[in-house]
Amino acid sequence: MSNQQTAKPQTALAIIDSVRGELAPIAMDAGLDYSRLATAFNVACQQNPDILDCTPDSIRRELAKCAFDGLIPDAKEAVILPYKVDGKLTANYQPMVYGVMKRLRELGGVSTILCECVYETDKFEVDMDDLESLSHKANPFAKDRGEIIGAYVVFRGPDKLVMHREIMSRSALDDVRKASKSPGSPAWTKWFPEMCRKAVLRRGAKFITVNNDRIRAIIERQDAMYDFNDKRPEVERVDPFSGTTIDLKSSEADLAASSNAADERSETAPQKSGSQGSEAKADTSSEPASPFPERIHKKDMPSLIETLQKLVDMAAPSRDVDAADRRGILKASVPGWKANLSEYLHPLLKHVIDIVDKALVAQGKGGEWEKDIEISLDTVSENTGIDFDIPGGAK
C-alpha cells in the first residue's frame, strides 16, 4: 500500500485532539505538558502505524494511563504497542525503565538511582551488612563480558545516603522471566539486559517509602505484566522495544494483581452501630452487596484516603473546566484509581465515583448538588472512618 497513513480509519492527530478535553487536565496534574504527549503519540504512530488500527477505546484508555503517570510514549519513558486480542488489535501502554526511574526521582523523594546488570567478567563485591559497600567494576567497551549473572539497583535520597539496595541473582531473574506472561517473547530473547534491569528496579521500588498514588500505579502496571501465580496462558506478546505485533489471545489485565488482599483485612475501619452490624448481615439475599468492606487493612488506608479525597475534589466547580469535561476526566481517571487500590476496595471506589458523577450531572443541569454529596459522603465516613474535605462553591 503506497499511502498507508491515509488508509487508516483514524489518525493520530484526530485521536489526540478528541481526548484533549479529558486528558489535558490529567496530564497537567501529573506535571506533563499535553503537547509533549500529543507529539510523542504522533511520532509513535508514524513509527508503528499498526497503533492506529487498534480499537479507539483501547487507545483512549492507554493514553489516559500515560497522562495519569506523567510519561510520554516515546519508547524511552513509555511505549504504546498493538496487541492482537481475539482477532482485534488492542493498544497496550507499558512504562519503561527510564520512565519509572524518572518518576521515582520526581515524585518519590529519590535523588539518584543506579540500576545495572552484572556480567561474568565484572568484579562485583558487596557487604550485605553495609548498604554503602557495593562495588561494581566493569569494562563497558569489552567485546564480550560474558553472561549476565545478576542485576542490582541502588536508591539514594536527597541526603545522598542509600535508601534501599536490591540485588537479584541470575536464578532470581530467571524466575521473574518464568512468571512473565510471555517468557519466550523477543523482549526476553533479544533485550534480556533491559528486562533484567526492569525486574530488579520494579522489585526494589516497592521498598521505597512512597506516599504517592502515581508511583504506586506505575509500579503496579509493571506487575500486571507478570503472573506470579504461574497461571499464564500459552501465548506470545508484542516485543516492547521494536513494536512488532504478536498474536495475543489472553484477555487484558487493566488492574494490577492485589495479592492476598482479602486475607489481610484485619484492622482499622471503625464500624458505627447499625451501619454494618451482625443483624444486617443475617439476611442479605434480597439486598444489594454493600460497597463498604468489613475491615480496611491499615497498610491500605493512606492510599485509600489520598485516592478518595482526590476523587471528591473533582466535584468542586471550576471556572476553567465545566462539569461535562470533568465527567470525562473522571471516566479517564478510573484505571489509575483502580490500579492504586487493592481489589477488595474497588466496590468502595465505585461507590464514591458514582457519588461524584451524580454531583457533576446535577451541576451540568444547573441543579442543587451540595447537600446530596454531603449526605452521601457522610455515609461513607460513617462506614470507613475517613473524613472528607467536601467541595462547595466555585474555586
pLDDT band for 237, please (50, 70, 90 cuts).
very low
Give the 3-state secondary structure of residue 291: coil
The stretch 267-273 carries a mean pLDDT of 42
Q: How far is CA 314 from CA 96, 300, 311, in A?
A: 29, 22, 5
Dihedral of the alpha carbons of 242, 243, 247, 251, in degrees to the nearest 10: 120
- Please tell me the least confidently modeled range out of 41-45, 71-75, 212-216, 236-240: 236-240
Specify whether the CB–CB gap between 204 and 155 falls below 8 A: yes
pLDDT band for 106, please (50, 70, 90 cuts).
confident
Beta bridge partners of 116: 152
On the question of pLDDT at 199 being above 50, the answer is yes
pLDDT for the residue 168: 95
For the entire predicted model, the pTM comes to: 0.50
Q: Mean pLDDT score of the chain, rounded to an integer?
A: 77
Distance CA 26, CA 377 (A): 24
pLDDT band for 162, please (50, 70, 90 cuts).
very high
pLDDT for the residue 280: 41
Backbone conformation region of residue 249, classed left if phi is above 0, alpha if psi is from -120 to 50, else beta = alpha
**β-strands 162-169, 148-156 pairing:** antiparallel
Distance CA 376, CA 390 (A): 11
Cell digits of residue 305: 484516603
The stretch 248-254 carries a mean pLDDT of 36
